[in-house]
Amino acid sequence: MNEWNRTDLSAFLEIKATGLVYFYTPMCGTCQVASKMLQVIEQLVELDMGKMNLNFYPDLARDFAIESVPCLLFVQAGKIKETLYAFQSVPFLLEKIKQHLY
């Protein structure tokens, strides 16, 4: 999964893309587990996916009302369909992806 910056995120939303945006912080242990789950997901589905270190974008935390990390935004046609904080498992994430993005 590619590390995105503000320009990447803006472009993704402006073209009304569909995919996942993952917010994390490097020192978060739960984020590290979530990152591994998303690496598996990336191999199983063909979606635009980007990750962003929330330490560098506190304004985005406010803009997207992000309460904690890890945080996964499900984006369909440039609109946020769901914000997820509890990743649970790879099958759970796959089901959420099918529910919101396919």
Q: How many domains does the chain fold into? A: 1
Phi-psi region of 88 (alpha: psi -120 to 50; beta: other; left: phi over 0): left
CB atoms within 10 A of CB 69: 20
Query: What's residue 102's pLDDT?
Result: 76
Q: What is the CATH number of the domain that holds 55?
A: 3.40.30.10
Tens-digit pLDDT profile for the chain (102 aa)? 999 999 999 999 999 999 999 999 999 999 999 999 999 999 999 999 999 999 999 999 999 999 999 999 999 999 999 999 999 999 999 999 999 887
Task: Print the domain residue range for 10.
Answer: 2-101
Vertex 37 angle, CA 35 and 41, to 5°: 110
Secondary structure letter of residue 4 according to DSSP: P
Backbone angles phi, psi at 83, to 5 degrees: -115, 125
97 vs 14: CA distance, rounded Å: 21
96 neighbors 84 (Cβ within 8 angstroms): yes
Residue in the structure block whose two tokens are 């893309």: 17
